[in-house]
């Protein structure tokens, strides 16, 4: 049995100074890095998800309701869509990008990014990904490809049966990813201390996850 850590959406736009900041996001990036550095030997695989919006329709709004619509964020190929510079990518094996043309909260809606479009570890903080602002066009190619690999496909191909989920935001993409992982048949744990959420009170989000079969640690 293989075990995987899923790092959800620790991106610049979801951290302080970004387009849709979650309080504590920047600190969380560093905390996850410390955790992975200390515990990577407990995982066979480490993957990360990213919002990667090209034309997500009504998901973007100039007058968002912050339930079904949001200010523009994590636009493909921009600095806001990049992983936060305090998130160490050394142990991350694969990146799954979601929401190109529609709203997407769960990492299980993401598609595997091509190798030449992900951080290599020698990139200066704040620099654009390979391809720069042209990244959006490249993203549409892999998003539409018949051979696109989803997160569930990738985990199954690596014999993963147990996943641990951390990241941003507890009450949105972390919750959606964890619940979808349960539905896909994985044993799922969310590390409460390695998530941050939008709501001030996250008890309901954790209760919903527990009711859905997620272990909260």
Model confidence over 18-76: pLDDT tens digits?
999 999 999 999 999 999 999 999 999 999 999 999 999 899 898 888 888 888 999 99
pTM of the predicted protein model: 0.88
- Note whether 53 and 76 are within 8 A (CB): yes
Is the pLDDT reported for residue 190 higher than 60?
yes
pLDDT value of position 118? 62
Could you report the per-residue pLDDT of 173-186, keeping only the tens digit for each?
Answer: 999 999 999 999 99
**H-type alpha helices, 17-161:** 25-39, 135-144, 151-157
pLDDT value of position 120? 47
For residue 146, give the DSSP letter: T
For residue 117, give the DSSP letter: G
Point out the catalytic residue in the list 98, 152, 171, 175: 98
pLDDT band at 206 (very low <50, low <70, confident <90, very high): very high
E strands within 32-159? 45-51, 94-98, 111-112
Point out the catalytic residue in the list 9, 51, 152, 171: 9
pLDDT value of position 119? 57
The alpha carbon of residue 75 and the mean position of all alpha carbons in its chain are separated, in whole angstroms, by: 14
d(CA 29, CA 24): 9
In degrees to the nearest 10, what's the CA dihedral of 165, 166, 168, 169? 60
Could you report the per-residue pLDDT of 94-134, keeping only the tens digit for each?
Answer: 999 999 999 999 999 999 998 766 654 444 444 444 333 33
Is the pLDDT reported for residue 156 higher than 60?
yes
> 74 catalytic, yes or no?
no
Token pair listed for 212: 């859905």
> 175 catalytic, yes or no?
no
E strands within 59-207? 94-98, 111-112, 160-168, 187-196
- For the chain, the domains span 2-216
Instruction: Find the radius of gyration of the CA atoms of the chain.
Output: 16
Q: Which residue has the higher pLDDT, 88 or 139?
A: 88
Point out the catalytic residue in the list 13, 51, 173, 175: 173
Task: Residues 2-216: name the CATH superfamily.
Answer: Isochorismatase-like (3.40.50.850)
pLDDT value of position 188? 98
d(CA 150, CA 12): 23
């Amino acid at each position: 049995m293989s075990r995987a850590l899923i790092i959800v959406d620790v991106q610049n736009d979801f951290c302080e100074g970004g387009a849709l900041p979650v309080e504590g996001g920047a600190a969380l990036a560093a905390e996850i890095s410390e955790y992975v550095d200390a515990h990577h030997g407990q995982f066979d695989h480490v993957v990360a998800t990213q919002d990667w919006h090209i034309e997500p329709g009504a998901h973007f709004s100039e007058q968002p309701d912050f339930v079904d619509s949001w200010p523009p964020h994590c636009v493909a190929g921009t600095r806001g869509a990049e992983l936060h510079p305090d998130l160490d990518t050394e142990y991350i094996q694969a990146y799954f990008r979601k929401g190109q043309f529609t709203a997407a909260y769960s990492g299980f809606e993401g598609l595997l990014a091509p190798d030449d479009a992900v951080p290599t570890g020698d990139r200066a903080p704040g620099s654009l990904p390979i391809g720069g602002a042209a990244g959006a066009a490249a993203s549409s190619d892999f998003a539409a490809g018949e051979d696109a690999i989803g997160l569930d496909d990738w985990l199954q191909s690596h014999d993963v049966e147990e996943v641990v989920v951390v990241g941003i935001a507890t009450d949105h993409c972390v919750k959606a990813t964890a619940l979808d992982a349960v539905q896909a048949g994985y044993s799922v744990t969310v590390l409460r201390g390695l998530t941050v959420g939008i709501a001030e009170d996250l008890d309901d989000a954790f209760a919903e996850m527990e009711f859905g079969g997620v272990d909260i640690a």
